[in-house]
């Protein structure tokens, strides 16, 4: 009975609308960018550079509606700046570009400022094992201003010094060293149970020996997660173990400690239904991982079910289903990542129809959605900051286009007042400090205050 109720919740989530939603609660917003990438499934998406943008590369375009006969493997690069997509066609001193592919893995290392792309499947169905870096370079000419150009850079490794080729692997940020890669499958559908780390400072891969093999699965994201007490690990949920059977377990990867790296299963009291091909990304504003959609598998009398539910997860461990006023509708195999500056989660594309269904062509998407709050600050409300640090705050005008923003007022920060939608505040002196956003909408005037404790430098 519980599974039937949960399934009904997933099926109804696509049409869920609430009469009111607190501005403090996050919601999905359907963006309307001027430039729209072609529709696709299984793209690679990640932050890049200083974390102020998102890069999307490749994917599989299923062609127009009709007979399932087209597989258009893409090799294009797009950058999302928070409001629009830009196609990148000019690169800085790039002798070659990554080949067209889908099912590749990509993650951003904010410490070493490297976005790493690995593997996938090319247009000939071959499993890839190449590693690429994506970033920017400044070109400054004499008597001219500087221009920022994009760059793809291939890396080469000796035999055995990088992961074997794979598709749909899990890849995420490791704050101790760089990026961790696990799982994924071969062309025959066999899943890997190994763990690799890309060391950002040296641009090398290291095969990691863990206490136990990784959970050995594919089509599940690996996302940075909050474990409390400022501890950051990584978490994955579900996926598939070499078949089309969805899994519903939660795993945590404990980064290097006194006994090394550890894979361990978690036992939350509640969790999403089993699924694969879902999206999941860390949302720093709430310290939660946001999970959306996925393929729940075949249900007798219904067929293959594609989910449209949103869940918040922590590796404490806990899962809680969110009830946003809007959502992107049923989909799986979408791109999904932490968005610019960490203020949003960005979702692009995916499909609302499972393979094996009649005529899935034309059912892949090219829409862009963001998950976030109308008002947000990073570091989060209640944080302890040292003198000399910064807080970035953002009022989202897209969240409610009819809202009139009145500005930011700050105590203990500089500047004391600003009206820009996005503003950076600087700590001034030790003590209690606040930042307050003010605005009006159809329901009246509102204020939201973020509280901080500022301590002396090197506290």
Q: What is the CATH number of the domain that holds 267?
A: 2.120.10.80
Instruction: Looking at the structure, tell me whether residues 239 and 101 fall in a common domain.
Output: yes
Q: Are 261 and 251 in contact (CB under 8 A)?
A: no
Q: Is the pLDDT of residue 420 over 60?
A: yes
Q: What is the pLDDT of residue 442?
A: 92
Q: What is the pLDDT of residue 358?
A: 60
Instruction: Looking at the structure, tell me whether residues 254 and 334 fall in a common domain.
Output: yes
Q: What is the pLDDT of residue 250?
A: 96
Residue 348: pLDDT band with limits 50, 70, 90: very high
Instruction: Looking at the structure, tell me whether residues 334 and 294 fall in a common domain.
Output: yes
> Total structural domains in the chain?
2
DSSP 105-125: EEEEETTTTEEEEEEEEETTS
Q: What is the pLDDT of residue 300?
A: 64
Looking at per-residue pLDDT, the higher value among 76 and 189 belongs to 76
Q: How far apart are CA 48 and CA 110, in angstroms?
A: 8
Q: What is the pLDDT of residue 13?
A: 45
Q: Is the pLDDT of residue 380 over 90?
A: yes
Which two three-digit tokens encode residue 32? 């309307």
**Whether pTM exceeds 0.85:** yes
Ramachandran angles phi, psi of 171, nearest 5°? -145, 130
Q: Is the pLDDT of residue 15 over 50?
A: no
Q: What is the pLDDT of residue 242?
A: 78
Q: What is the pLDDT of residue 18?
A: 33
Instruction: Looking at the structure, tell me whether residues 297 and 435 fall in a common domain.
Output: no
Q: Is the pLDDT of residue 264 over 80?
A: yes
DSSP 42-92: S-EEEEETTTTEEEEEEEEE--SSSSS---EEEEEEEEE-SS-EEE---BS
Average pLDDT, integer, range 436-458: 94
Q: What is the pLDDT of residue 332?
A: 97
Instruction: Looking at the structure, tell me whether residues 300 and 194 fall in a common domain.
Output: yes
* Containing structural domain, residue 208: 2-373
Residue finishing a domain among 346, 373, 400: 373
Average pLDDT, integer, range 408-429: 96
Q: How far apart are CA 11 and CA 330, in angstroms?
A: 8
What residues contact residue 1 under an 8 Å CB cut-off, 6+ apart?
none
* Nearest to 282, CA basis, from 220, 223, 222, 368: 223
Q: What is the CATH number of the domain that holds 380?
A: 2.60.40.10
Q: What is the pLDDT of residue 335?
A: 98
Q: What is the pLDDT of residue 113?
A: 85
Instruction: Looking at the structure, tell me whether residues 191 and 330 fall in a common domain.
Output: yes
Check residue 357 and report its DSSP letter.
B
Q: What is the pLDDT of residue 136?
A: 86
Lowest mean pLDDT among 109-113, 291-295, 394-398, 405-409: 109-113
| Stretch (H or E) spanning 22 | none
Tens digit of each residue's pLDDT (9 = 90 or more) over 246-261: 999 999 988 765 556 7
The percentage of the chain sitting over the pLDDT mark of 90, rounded to a whole number, equals 69
Instruction: Looking at the structure, tell me whether residues 341 and 418 fall in a common domain.
Output: no
Q: Is the pLDDT of residue 427 over 90?
A: yes
Residue finishing a domain among 331, 346, 373: 373
Ramachandran angles phi, psi of 414, nearest 5°? -120, 135
Q: Is the pLDDT of residue 3 over 60?
A: no
Which two three-digit tokens encode residue 333? 């195999």
Which two three-digit tokens encode residue 216? 């050995």
Q: Which residues of 337-356 are buried (b: 16+ CB within 10 A; e: fewer)?
A: bbbbbbbbbbbbbbbbbbee
Residue finishing a domain among 345, 373, 401: 373
Check residue 265 and report its DSSP letter.
E
Instruction: Looking at the structure, tell me whether residues 79 and 174 fall in a common domain.
Output: yes
Cα atoms in the 13 Å half-sphere on the side-chain side of 107: 31
Tens digit of each residue's pLDDT (9 = 90 or more) over 27-48: 999 999 999 999 999 999 999 9
Instruction: Looking at the structure, tell me whether residues 163 and 230 fall in a common domain.
Output: yes
Residue 265: Cβ-neighbour burial (10 angstroms; 0-12, 13-18, 19+): exposed
Lowest mean pLDDT among 220-229, 335-344, 354-363, 439-448: 354-363
Instruction: Looking at the structure, tell me whether residues 348 and 410 fall in a common domain.
Output: no
Q: What is the pLDDT of residue 114?
A: 87
The percentage of the chain sitting over the pLDDT mark of 70, rounded to a whole number, equals 89
Q: Are 281 and 292 in contact (CB under 8 A)?
A: no
Q: How far apart are CA 120 and CA 112, in angstroms?
A: 24
Instruction: Looking at the structure, tell me whether residues 367 and 390 fall in a common domain.
Output: no
Which two three-digit tokens encode residue 2? 């519980």
Torsion of CA 256, 257, 260, 264, to 10 degrees: -80
Q: Is the pLDDT of residue 443 over 70?
A: yes
Instruction: Looking at the structure, tell me whether residues 309 and 442 fall in a common domain.
Output: no
Q: Mean pLDDT, the chain, as a whole number?
A: 89
* Nearest to 46, CA basis, from 103, 127, 109, 89: 109
Q: Is the pLDDT of residue 10 over 80?
A: no
Measure the N-to-C terminal CA separation of the chain; round to a whole number of Å.
54
Average pLDDT, integer, range 253-270: 81
Q: How far apart are CA 133 and CA 51, in angstroms?
A: 15
Q: How far apart are CA 106 and CA 173, in angstroms?
A: 10
């Amino acid at each position: 009975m519980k599974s039937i109720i949960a399934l009904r919740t997933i099926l109804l989530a696509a049409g869920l609308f609430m009469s009111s939603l607190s501005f403090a609660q996050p919601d999905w917003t359907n963006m309307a960018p001027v430039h729209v990438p072609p529709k696709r499934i299984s793209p690679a998406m990640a932050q890049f550079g200083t974390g102020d943008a998102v890069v999307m590369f490749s994917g599989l375009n299923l062609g127009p509606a009709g007979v399932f006969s087209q597989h258009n493997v893409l090799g294009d690069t797009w950058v999302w700046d928070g409001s629009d997509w830009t196609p990148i066609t000019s690169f800085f001193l790039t002798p070659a570009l990554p080949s067209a592919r889908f099912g590749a893995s990509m993650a951003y290392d904010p410490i070493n400022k490297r976005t790493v792309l690995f593997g996938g499947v090319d247009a000939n169905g071959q499993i890839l094992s190449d590693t690429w870096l994506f970033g920017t370079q400044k070109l400054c000419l004499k008597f001219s201003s500087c221009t920022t150009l994009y760059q793809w850079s291939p890396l080469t490794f000796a035999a055995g010094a990088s992961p074997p080729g794979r598709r749909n692997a899990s890849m995420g940020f490791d704050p101790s060293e760089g990026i961790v890669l696990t799982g994924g499958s071969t062309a025959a559908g066999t899943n890997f149970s190994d763990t690799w780390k890309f060391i950002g400072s040296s641009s090398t891969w290291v095969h990691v020996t863990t206490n136990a093999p990784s959970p050995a699965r594919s089509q599940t994201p690996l996302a940075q997660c909050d474990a409390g007490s400022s501890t950051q690990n990584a978490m994955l949920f579900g996926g598939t173990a070499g078949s089309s059977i969805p899994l519903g377990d939660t795993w945590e990867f404990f980064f290097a400690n006194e006994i090394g790296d550890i894979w361990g299963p978690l036992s939350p009291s509640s969790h999403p239904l089993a699924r694969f091909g879902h999206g999941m990304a860390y949302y720093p504003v709430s310290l939660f991982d946001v999970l959306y959609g996925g393929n729940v598998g075949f249900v007798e009398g219904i067929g293959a079910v594609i989910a449209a539910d949103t869940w918040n997860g922590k590796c404490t461990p806990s899962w809680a289903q969110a009830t946003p006023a809007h959502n992107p509708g049923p989909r799986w195999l979408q791109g999904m990542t932490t968005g610019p500056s960490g203020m949003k989660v960005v979702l692009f594309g995916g499909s609302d129809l499972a393979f094996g269904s009649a005529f899935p062509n034309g059912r892949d998407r090219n829409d862009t959605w963001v998950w976030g709050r109308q008002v947000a600050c990073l570091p989060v409300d209640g944080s302890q900051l040292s003198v000399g640090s910064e807080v970035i705050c953002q009022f989202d005008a897209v969240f409610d286009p009819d809202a009139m923003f009145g500005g930011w007022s700050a105590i203990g920060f500089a500047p004391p007042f600003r009206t820009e939608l996005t503003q950076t505040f600087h700590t001034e002196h030790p003590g209690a400090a606040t930042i307050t956003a003010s605005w009006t909408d159809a329901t009246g005037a509102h204020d939201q205050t973020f509280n901080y404790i500022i301590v002396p430098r090197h506290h």
